[in-house]
Amino acid sequence: MTKHIFLAALLGVFLIGCKAKHKVTYSKPATETAKTIPKKSNTKRTADKATRYPMPEDTGKFVRLEFSSIQAYIEVFSEVAQMEMKEYGIPASITLAQGLLESGFGKGALARKTNNHFGIKCHTGWQGDYDFHDDDEKGECFRKYNHPMYSYRDHSIFLTGRSRYAFLFNYRNTDYKKWAHGLRKAGYATDKRYPQKLISLIEKYGLSKFDESVKNAGYSKKKEAIVEHKRGVASKLNEVYVVKEGDTLYAISRKYSVTVEDLKRWNYMYSDTIAVGQKLTVASKKFN
């Protein structure tokens, strides 16, 4: 089964043990009126063709998957995690372990109502769908996806698009122990035992075999480092442009000979909206 067929199949309702439901319409409770709410946009996504491993086009419908066991979860998402490793350089074992832990292998309350398998909060600049969930504080804003595989892609973009995680990509993408401790050091989780929990899951379920599989397929650290440079992560060759009045993403993309899609990906943007004074990472022409 090819990668595209596999991913397209994940969108369907015919996975064993899984079933789709209509998208849940969010209704903001009265108690949330004082909160800063991100601007919502059309949550239907198109395939990100600029990447080597694009996600299939979003159907626009909320799909809830049901998992009978941890092994069933791994079987569904192991190939997705490996594709993310090939595209972004994040160990598949780490991605799977985080997905398992953060989502309660798909059974957690947040995962079930938002398909958010990594506990990623809205943060500034998020333009997609969202819902509220009690976490460190009551009623925090979390990102919402129509299908959990989009959560996997967003997790990759989240790590590669934020400077505080840049040092992780100096580690071998088969060294899951350093990655686990590095995530805690970078502030991904407040739990002091977060690294140990990830490592335990990886070793208990043999998730490191997926890293080795990607490595044996010829995706070395060097190749992934080039990909990370293209995304503006920890690269001295990349420049920062400060948005001026009258600028548009299109004009900036022409100035630096890159695509609008690249600018949005490197800067973790989900719309074309920019603001005066905003700092944008623009790639060196060497990598175009």
Given pLDDT bands bounded at 50, 70 and 90, which one contains residue 9? low
DSSP state of 121: B
Complete domains list, the chain, with CATH: 3-227 (1.10.530.10), 236-287 (3.10.350.10)
- Distance (Å, whole) CA 126 – CA 179: 26
Location of structure tokens 């990509």:
169
Using CA atoms, how far apart are residues 52 and 214, in angstroms rounded to an integer? Answer: 15
Question: Which is more confident, 164 or 210?
Answer: 210
Say whether pLDDT at 193 is over 50.
yes
Q: What is the pTM of this model?
A: 0.66
- Rounded distance, CA 152 to CA 273, Å? 24
pLDDT reading at 162 higher than 60: yes
**pLDDT-based confidence at 104, cuts 50/70/90?**
very high
Across the range 166-175, mean pLDDT stands at: 92
> Average pLDDT, stretch 265-279?
80
Q: Is the pLDDT of residue 23 over 80?
A: no
Residue-level pLDDT at 163: 85
Burial 42-73 (b: 16+ CB within 10 A, else e): ebebeebeebebbbbebeeebbbbebeebebb
- Whether the per-residue pLDDT at 64 is higher than 60: the answer is yes
Query: Average pLDDT, whole number, for the chain?
Result: 77
- Give the separation between CA 118 and CA 90, rounded to whole angstroms: 14
**Residue whose token pair is 């369907």:** 12
Question: Is it the case that residue 31 has pLDDT exceeding 70?
Answer: no
pLDDT at 177 over 50: yes
Q: What is the pLDDT, as a whole number, of residue 283? A: 61
Give the model's confidence band at 30: pLDDT under 50 very low, under 70 low, under 90 confident, else very high. very low
Rounded alpha-carbon distances, angstroms, from residue 273 to 132, 269, 280: 24, 8, 12
pLDDT the model gives residue 13:
37
Buried b (16+ CB within 10 A) or exposed e, 212-226: eebbeeebebeebbe
